[in-house]
Amino acid sequence: MGFRLSALALLCAANLANAAEQPHPIQPPPVELIRADRVEPGERPAQKVLYRARQLDAYSIGVQAYVYGWPAVENYRVCSRLLDPAFRHHAPLNSFRHETGPADDQYKLFVTPNGDLLYSQACLDLSQEPLVLHVPDTGDMRYWTAQVTDAYTETVANISKRSVGNRAGDYALVGPGWKGELPKGVTAVPVATHTGFILLRTFFEDRQDLEKRTRVVQRQFTLEPLSAYVSGKDWKAPELPADDRRRAVPADEQALSTSLEFFRILNRAMADAGPRPGEEALWAMFRRIGVGPGLPFDPEKLDSATREALQKAVADGWQLVQDRSATARTKVVNGWGVPQPDQPVGAFGYDYLQRAGLAHRGIYSNTADEYAAMAGIADTEARPLDGNQRYVLHFAKGDFPKVEAYWGLTIYRLPERLFYPNPASRWTLNSVDKGLQYNPDGSLDVLIQREAPAGREANWLPSPDGPFQLIVRAYRAEDPAIFVGDWAPPAIRRID
């Protein structure tokens, strides 16, 4: 008995010794306790140092939060307009707005729209349950894709002819944290945030194809909650009440992007969406300036140092977003900004500045596996394009973009990056256009000018009164050179 007690005592002593050797884990302070000084002006030297330090701190965080959040705020603004029953492109939450015609000079939902296909767009709320996207049998349709993005405009999936073929199918858009089970035959599409956006593009060959087939197929793309899908009952998306905060967003991009109201809307967008994986530390830092879910950002209640710093952060952040928008492509060939592997489009990872620049340049720009875009910004003499001049774009035979689907050329008025009234109501030419007049040697001349070129109207792209840009989009590009900037459209030659 004494021996057993001695052995037990030795064992206990050994355990205590081992415990004493183990360091006690140090827990970091909770997010709520991260220091965020409130500082007002003062004459004491220490107060002046504290004021300056807080301004610099708030400014540096403010610029980062602005760049990080600009795509989310812009997406929130777009959805606010889409959810307004009085808006021309209205659609209730979680349901499609199927446009019956291609974008024209009245299309104002977002910038740099396509002019040779039909849009269907929907704002998504996946916080309660998944949404089921039904894709119909699209037959031999040349091109279609349902681009799904998260709340920060990161493309999470393209459900398209390229990825799933032309057969019918059902796809569940599943937000974070959902633990249920999907019915047999429904394919899960994970979305990293609780809110998102879907932009469906369906191509039509000509006006007859638009009226006889494309609109019919387009309307068969549907969205419904998983519960409605399982029950088989008809479902109609309810309208949001007029006082829903998702409808209370400034409609003007410029006004929202240049005021402290930007951070209030960002807080709403972050609260609705939730964080993407791996961004928790970033969100904790943003809290030091009052930015984050559940925080009531009120400029009037900020201390002077923080308010002044954030006003400067908004001004500089807005300039930074615009500058990256203008320089999203840094390799220019023949006056065209061409793709580069380190300048992503559609899917950005942690490249927040590129994401913001592309959202400003053309929100919901898609990934290269669906199309590659090249922006024409200057003529052969490196002069900006001016609608009061005349230009010719000459494609030699065999020098067209090599594509599986089609390629298109679209013109936009600057600085708004939208379509504009013109006599022909035409903003796009594409490779499927049967009316284009090719030269005897198989080459093609596109004429870009304000007045109609007599006898050559089929190849005319009417220009606006003032600055403009061109975009060539190569849908399902097959030439690897296109993706790395080793192929570019021909130079844009001014006709003096």
Tokens of 129: 């349950």
* H/E element, 470: strand 468-477
pLDDT of the residue at 217:
97
H helices present in 331-438, as ranges:
352-362
Residue 421: pLDDT over 90: yes
pLDDT digits 0-9 by tens, 76-115: 999 999 999 999 999 999 999 999 999 999 999 999 999 9
With contact defined as beta carbons under 8 Å apart, do 253 and 416 qualify? Answer: no
**Angle (CA) 234 238 244, round 5°:** 165
- Hunting for tokens 């490196």 — which residue is that? 382
pLDDT of the residue at 9:
55
Residue 380: pLDDT over 50: yes
Distance CA 368, CA 360 (A): 18
Handedness of CA 71, 73, 76, 81 (dihedral sign): negative
What DSSP designation does 277 have? T
List 123's β-bridge partners, or say none: 197
Residue intervals of the chain classified under CATH 2.60.40.1610 are 97-231
* C-alpha pair distances (Å), 204 with each of 213, 350, 407: 8, 36, 13
pLDDT digits 0-9 by tens, 427-469: 999 999 999 999 999 999 999 999 999 999 999 999 999 999 9
Instruction: Return all residues near 3 (Cβ < 8 A) that are at least 6 apart.
Output: none
**CATH class (in words) of the domain with range 97-231:** mainly beta
Distance CA 130, CA 53 (A): 46
Handedness of CA 421, 326, 342, 381 (dihedral sign): positive
pLDDT digits 0-9 by tens, 157-214: 999 999 999 999 999 999 999 999 999 999 999 999 999 999 999 999 999 999 999 9
| Nearest alpha carbon to residue 231 among 132, 136, 91, 159 | 132
The structure's pTM equals 0.91
Residue intervals of the chain classified under CATH 2.60.120.600 are 332-495
Burial class for 176, CB neighbours closer than 10 Å (0-12, 13-18, 19+): middle
| Nearest alpha carbon to residue 316 among 61, 37, 6, 26 | 61
CATH number of 332-495: 2.60.120.600
pLDDT digits 0-9 by tens, 4-43: 445 555 555 555 555 555 666 777 767 666 666 787 888 8
pLDDT of the residue at 18:
57
pLDDT of the residue at 7:
52
**Angle (CA) 182 82 104, round 5°:** 115
With contact defined as beta carbons under 8 Å apart, do 383 and 495 qualify? Answer: no
pLDDT of the residue at 4:
46
- Hunting for tokens 């040779």 — which residue is that? 116
Residue 412: pLDDT over 70: yes
Q: Average model confidence (pLDDT) for the chain?
A: 92
Over residues 134-148, mean pLDDT = 97
Distance CA 430, CA 408 (A): 4
pLDDT of the residue at 1:
47
CA 123 from centroid of its chain's CA atoms: 13
Within the chain, what is the greatest distance between any pair of CA atoms? 116
* H/E element, 145: strand 144-150
Tokens of 350: 């942690």
Distance CA 19, CA 116 (A): 72
